[in-house]
A and B are shown apart, each in its own frame.
Chain A
Amino acid sequence: MPFKLFDVDKEIPEREKHIYVKDEHNCEIDCNKSTIPGCMTERGCALAGGKGVITGAIKDVIGLVHSPVGCQYYTTGTKRYPSQPQLPNGKTFPIDNFNLKYSFGTDLKEANIVFGGTRKLKEAIIEANKDYPFASAIYVNSTCTTGLIGDDVDAVCKEMTEELGKDVVAFNTPGFSGVSQSKGHHITNDAVFDRLVGTKEPPKTTEYDICLIGEYNIDGDLWVIEKYLTEMGLNILSRFSGDASHGELCWMHRSKLNLVRCQRSATYIADLIEERYDVPYKKVDFFSTDYCSDNLRMLGRHFGLEEEAEAVIEKYHGEVKEELEWYKEQLTGKKVYIFSGGPKSWHLSIPLEKELGLDIIAVASQFEHSDGYDKMKARVKDGTTILDDPNSLELEELILTNKPDLILAGIKEKYLVYKYGIPAIQIHSYENGPYIGYEGFLNLAKDIYNNINAPVWKLLEFGSE
């Protein structure tokens, strides 16, 4: 049977179609569907996908959550999204890591629920702008509460844009929209496109302008790619949205080529820009040395910068080659389960096997769609378990039956995995990243090695040698 019903799922047999053990049948995995209530899912909400993943990375905007205090609290400084204060116009934003340091919220109370929260929202926008007048724009996220009470956040933002003379943008991300964070990505892509793209012109343009879409600078990832691309002669005109400034989002249409890095959360906007502005896009992958070299070469060919690309590859691949080979020798045959939020399962499956010798026994994703699962299926060997939206109990069963040597997952799963004696690495926000590019892949190899070989795992038995 290609589909697999876990023992822990016998009371929820619907789960069977979400778990496929790869074979020659190439079965269609059930995905992007509502989660079974009470099944201990790891999924989040649209606000997490919108503000948490995308807009929370932008360094010069006031991010305001229109909600009771919790939704704001939980989206304050949580993602590992560092930013630098330099702006594209040559100026420096007065506060570094503004996106990590400050969050803004309307702190709605009972009376606001009864009488509406729009007046409080306006006051909050005006006050936030007064405290940080240098912020380039104000982004307002609506939530479950303001969605249900029917506050017209779009109208308030429109009014405030005129009053303040700067962009005040509504992102309608009530937590109950869609089945997972993924809906929040989509809503945010659409809002940025509808409201911002095409509204500003960049300070200057070149023939080598690119826009890096779906790269959020987790633990400095973006800075690694940016270094390679800049050194080979490309100019990053816009970033969506790691270490980005508000202005960059507004002139994405002037890019010569859009690169889509996280293809789950940001292909939407690349499609929209291509459709309206004829800017082509390419899906790119910089995880691991092979993918990184392939994609740099592809860009070299596209822009006629082949030699420059080769020079970058030689320099940076050269720096890590030997060490990676050593890690491969140490890690060969170790069994790994990758449980990513979105696409990292298929980004990493082949590189971990080919370049580090690991044995991928299972891959999973919280919120991938069928195109992502097609890639996942294509990039694992027969016998690998592929899971959509796995829950805690399935994770436990997988650990106890398949006995992986390491799990790549999020912070919510990591400590659970530990309790069963297995090491785990945070793959959403990383342990000691960045993990992208050549040096990033070496960091990942080091973390994998250090986790698997941490002496603690051999001391679990009393009196063990």
Chain B
Amino acid sequence: MSVNVCKRDRQVIIDPLVTCMPMGAMWAVLGINHGIPLVQGSQGCSTFVRYHLARHFREPIEIAVSSFHESTAVFGGGKNLNISLKTIIQRQNPELIGVVTTCSSEIIGDDVYGFVDSNKQELKDLGCDGTEIIPINTPSFAGSHFTGYDRAIDALIKNLSTVNENIENDNEKINIIPGLLNPGDVNEIKHILDTMYVPYTMLTDISETFNSPLNPKKQEDPYFGKGGTAVDEIKNISSSKGTVSIAKYAKTGAETLEQTHKVPAVTDNLPPIGIKGTDEFLKTVNKLTGYDTIDTLMTERGLTLDLMADVSARYLAGRKLVIFGDPTLVTGLTSFVIELGMEVVMVTTGSDEKTFPTDIESISKHQSIDVITEGDLKVVEDYVKDKDNEVELILGSSEARFINYDTGIPLVRFGFPVYDRVGYHSQPIVGYRGAKRVAEMITNEILAKYYEKKHWKLQQ
């Protein structure tokens, strides 16, 4: 029906729902096989990110930093970068270093492109020229971690994709830019594509680097997470049949590839969350590649529908919920919970994603949804605690746990960060199987909270 859009009505942020650009860039670089992010900034800029990623994924997060100090503010970070590159390449020999700039390096005016170029000869003389070095501009004041991710993917594509002089789009693959999805979600997308026999390149692939097996005998030293997209594979993406960006905030790279190498970009679809979103994704893949959506996936679709038939009318119909977090995930989940017959009363995202309100409007159907742009956790808290809103469920990250403790309103966790429960990074919310999992989690929370008091209703 409609959305009521309003912006956070304060200058002050109270508990942010987004973080800085560099984190998004580091995330993207960590999806490269033997890739190391190098933060051109103060030590906190890497340490804090490592802390936050480590507590969410419960995995090692290895990020280098060029350790800015007072003298750097005066003399610039050229020397820091020079020493960092030599040190990292000599000791760890990565395939790729993503030089992630920060507020401080951008304010003091470090020219990282120039620095990288001027280091090339020295690195060559040292025999250290086998590592790709990609500068990525990510001053935190110019965006959020979503923007930082987008810029990193774009920088990787611009710097690595080579001109294909042979036949157009001849490698049979499609490129997928997953956005800031969890390993479980990336794995689910890979499962869908594998099932359809569609070859693909994931730009970039954190499904194993952020979720790697414990197997000390096979553990590399120095440490690199298992998997990740190979640099050589990225060099070949200009020959692909198309690029699908799952997240709208991460579409710049796909557009670049379309402009420079005529690789068709699909960037404005619903994310593959819920039935319609996943249907749309399969159709897109089919259109780009000609491969069919085969029976296995239709069985998965049917199993999800079967559960939806079991639970939606009986337990979920008309229940009011709020959803906050990543704009892509919020959009997809809004679409799915509407498919479940629930009523979305408010959505918010910390970013200033311009199309977010219209995206929500286009899926709002008969519902009237409050959309708060550039929100923070306080926005969520105030909305949930306002009894007139009659909120019965919250979909969001662990950050809402105090709202859950204080109000008793159930919280179904998704996205980033989830640090107070386990398994959330490794299980999907995308695809038909992800939808089934979300429906199960929501239903179980509803049953525990709203049915146990009248337990006889749960007998059959």
Within 8 A of A (CB), among B211-268: 212, 214-217, 219, 221-223
Distance in angstroms from A375 CB to nearest chain B CB is: 25
In the complex, B448 has a CB within 8 A of chain A: no
Q: B residues within 8 A CB of A113?
A: 103, 107, 139, 141
Q: Contact at A396–B83, with CB atoms within 8 Å?
A: no
Chain B residue with minimal CB distance to A46? B44
Q: B residues within 8 A CB of A276?
A: none
Among B70, B85, B141, the one with the most A-chain Cβ atoms within 10 Å of its Cβ is B141
In the complex, A106 has a CB within 8 A of chain B: yes
Q: Contact at B91–A11, with CB atoms within 8 Å?
A: yes
In the complex, B62 has a CB within 8 A of chain A: yes
In the complex, B48 has a CB within 8 A of chain A: yes
Q: Contact at B141–A175, with CB atoms within 8 Å?
A: no
Q: Contact at A69–B104, with CB atoms within 8 Å?
A: no
Determine which of A47, A64, A131, A416 lies in contact with B44 in the assembled complex, contact meaning CB atoms within 8 Å.
A47
Supposing A8-B222, A74-B48, A176-B73 touch, asked if A415 and B13 sit within 8 A by C-beta, the answer is no
Query: When each residue 389-430 of chain A gets 1 if its CB lies under 8 Å from chain B and 0 otherwise, what string results?
Result: 000110010001000000000011011101111000000000
In the complex, B59 has a CB within 8 A of chain A: yes
Q: Contact at A44–B67, with CB atoms within 8 Å?
A: no
Within 8 A of B (CB), among A88-108: 97, 100-108
Q: Contact at A144–B42, with CB atoms within 8 Å?
A: yes
Q: B residues within 8 A CB of A131?
A: 10, 12, 14, 378
Within 8 A of B (CB), among A1-52: 8, 11-12, 34-48
In the complex, B86 has a CB within 8 A of chain A: yes
Q: Contact at A120–B11, with CB atoms within 8 Å?
A: yes
Q: A residues within 8 A CB of B283?
A: none
Supposing A69-B19, A176-B68, A392-B222 touch, asked if A74 and B13 sit within 8 A by C-beta, the answer is no
Give Cα A62 to B86, complex, Å. Answer: 43
In the complex, B450 has a CB within 8 A of chain A: no
In the complex, A311 has a CB within 8 A of chain B: no
Determine which of A45, A127, A418 lies in contact with B10 in the assembled complex, contact meaning CB atoms within 8 Å.
A127
Q: Which of A177-185, A201-209, A226-234, A331-339 contacts B (4 or more CB under 8 A)?
A: A177-185
Q: Contact at A74–B214, with CB atoms within 8 Å?
A: no
Distance in angstroms from A149 CB to nearest chain B CB is: 6
Distance in angstroms from A436 CB to nearest chain B CB is: 23
Give Cα A145 to B212, complex, Å. Answer: 36
Determine which of B15, B52, B72, B90 lies in contact with A74 in the assembled complex, contact meaning CB atoms within 8 Å.
B52
Number of chain A residues whose Cβ lies closer than 8 Å to a Cβ of chain B: 80
Distance in angstroms from B294 CB to nearest chain A CB is: 33
Chain B residue with minimal CB distance to A422? B216
Q: A residues within 8 A CB of B30?
A: none
In the complex, A71 has a CB within 8 A of chain B: yes
Within 8 A of A (CB), among B80-124: 80-81, 83-88, 90-92, 102-104, 107-108
In the complex, B69 has a CB within 8 A of chain A: yes
In the complex, A70 has a CB within 8 A of chain B: yes
Supposing A70-B23, A400-B221 touch, asked if A36 and B108 sit within 8 A by C-beta, the answer is no
Q: A residues within 8 A CB of B73?
A: 147-148, 176
Among B22, B81, B83, the one with the most A-chain Cβ atoms within 10 Å of its Cβ is B83
Q: A residues within 8 A CB of B189?
A: none
In the complex, A124 has a CB within 8 A of chain B: yes
Q: B residues within 8 A CB of A420?
A: 216, 219, 221
Q: Contact at B18–A145, with CB atoms within 8 Å?
A: no
Within 8 A of B (CB), among A107-153: 107-110, 112-113, 120, 123-125, 127-128, 131, 143-145, 147-149
Q: B residues within 8 A CB of A128?
A: 12, 14
Q: Contact at A71–B44, with CB atoms within 8 Å?
A: yes
Supposing A107-B16, A127-B10, A393-B92 touch, asked if A415 and B216 sit within 8 A by C-beta, the answer is no
Give Cα A133 to B122, complex, Å. Answer: 58
Give Cα A43 to B64, complex, Å. Answer: 11
Within 8 A of A (CB), among B1-51: 10-16, 18-23, 38, 41-45, 47-51
Q: Contact at A107–B50, with CB atoms within 8 Å?
A: no
Give Cα A143 to B103, complex, Å. Answer: 10
Among B20, B43, B219, the one with the most A-chain Cβ atoms within 10 Å of its Cβ is B43
Chain B residue with minimal CB distance to A144? B104
Q: Contact at A177–B62, with CB atoms within 8 Å?
A: no
Q: Contact at B10–A392, with CB atoms within 8 Å?
A: no
Within 8 A of A (CB), among B137-166: 139-142, 144
Distance in angstroms from B375 CB to nearest chain A CB is: 12
In the complex, B60 has a CB within 8 A of chain A: yes
Chain A residue with minimal CB distance to B222? A393
Q: A residues within 8 A CB of B81?
A: 37
Q: Contact at A36–B87, with CB atoms within 8 Å?
A: yes
In the complex, A343 has a CB within 8 A of chain B: no
Q: Contact at A419–B216, with CB atoms within 8 Å?
A: yes
Among A36, A73, A76, A144, the one with the most B-chain Cβ atoms within 10 Å of its Cβ is A73
Give Cα A38 to B92, complex, Å. Answer: 10
Number of chain B residues whose Cβ lies closer than 8 Å to a Cβ of chain A: 75
In the complex, B402 has a CB within 8 A of chain A: yes
Q: Contact at B13–A104, with CB atoms within 8 Å?
A: yes
Supposing A45-B42, A105-B13, A412-B47 touch, asked if A38 and B52 sit within 8 A by C-beta, the answer is no
Q: Contact at A70–B107, with CB atoms within 8 Å?
A: no
Distance in angstroms from A462 CB to nearest chain B CB is: 9
Distance in angstroms from A363 CB to nearest chain B CB is: 21
In the complex, A72 has a CB within 8 A of chain B: yes
In the complex, A453 has a CB within 8 A of chain B: no
In the complex, B447 has a CB within 8 A of chain A: no
Supposing A38-B88, A48-B47, A392-B62 touch, asked if A104 and B14 sit within 8 A by C-beta, the answer is yes
Among B21, B47, B61, B66, the one with the most A-chain Cβ atoms within 10 Å of its Cβ is B47
Query: When each residue 414-442 of chain B gets 1 if its CB lies under 8 Å from chain A and 0 otherwise, what string results?
Result: 00000000000000000000000000000
Chain B residue with minimal CB distance to A395? B223
Distance in angstroms from B216 CB to nearest chain A CB is: 3
Supposing A41-B67, A176-B42 touch, asked if A144 and B20 sit within 8 A by C-beta, the answer is no
In the complex, A68 has a CB within 8 A of chain B: yes
Distance in angstroms from B42 CB to nearest chain A CB is: 3
In the complex, B58 has a CB within 8 A of chain A: yes
Give Cα A106 to B42, complex, Å. Answer: 20
Give Cα A108 to B139, complex, Å. Answer: 11
Give Cα A143 to B80, complex, Å. Answer: 20
In the complex, B65 has a CB within 8 A of chain A: yes
Q: B residues within 8 A CB of A107?
A: 11-13, 16
Q: B residues within 8 A CB of A48?
A: 44, 47-48
Determine which of A34, A145, A460 lies in contact with B67 in the assembled complex, contact meaning CB atoms within 8 Å.
A34
Q: Contact at B59–A415, with CB atoms within 8 Å?
A: yes
Give Cα A39 to B67, complex, Å. Answer: 9
Chain B residue with minimal CB distance to A12? B87
In the complex, B55 has a CB within 8 A of chain A: yes
Q: Contact at B20–A37, with CB atoms within 8 Å?
A: no
Give Cα A40 to B57, complex, Å. Answer: 20
Q: Contact at A103–B19, with CB atoms within 8 Å?
A: no
Q: B residues within 8 A CB of A39?
A: 64, 87, 91
In the complex, A199 has a CB within 8 A of chain B: no
In the complex, A432 has a CB within 8 A of chain B: no
Q: Contact at A74–B91, with CB atoms within 8 Å?
A: no
In the complex, B54 has a CB within 8 A of chain A: yes
A70-B103, A97-B402, A412-B61 given. 14 additional CB < 8 A pairs?
A36-B83, A44-B47, A45-B45, A48-B48, A67-B140, A68-B139, A102-B14, A128-B12, A145-B104, A145-B107, A175-B43, A412-B47, A419-B214, A460-B217
Q: List 25 A-B contacts (CB under 8 A).
A: A39-B64, A40-B62, A48-B47, A68-B141, A69-B20, A74-B44, A74-B52, A76-B16, A102-B378, A105-B12, A127-B10, A128-B14, A143-B103, A144-B68, A144-B107, A148-B107, A149-B107, A179-B69, A396-B221, A396-B223, A412-B54, A412-B61, A415-B61, A416-B223, A419-B214
A residues contacting B by CB (< 8 A) are: 8, 11-12, 34-48, 64, 67-76, 78, 97, 100-110, 112-113, 120, 123-125, 127-128, 131, 143-145, 147-149, 174-180, 392-393, 396, 400, 411-412, 414-416, 418-421, 456, 460-461
> Which 3 pairs across A and B sit closest by C-beta, in order of nearness?
A70-B20, A45-B44, A38-B84
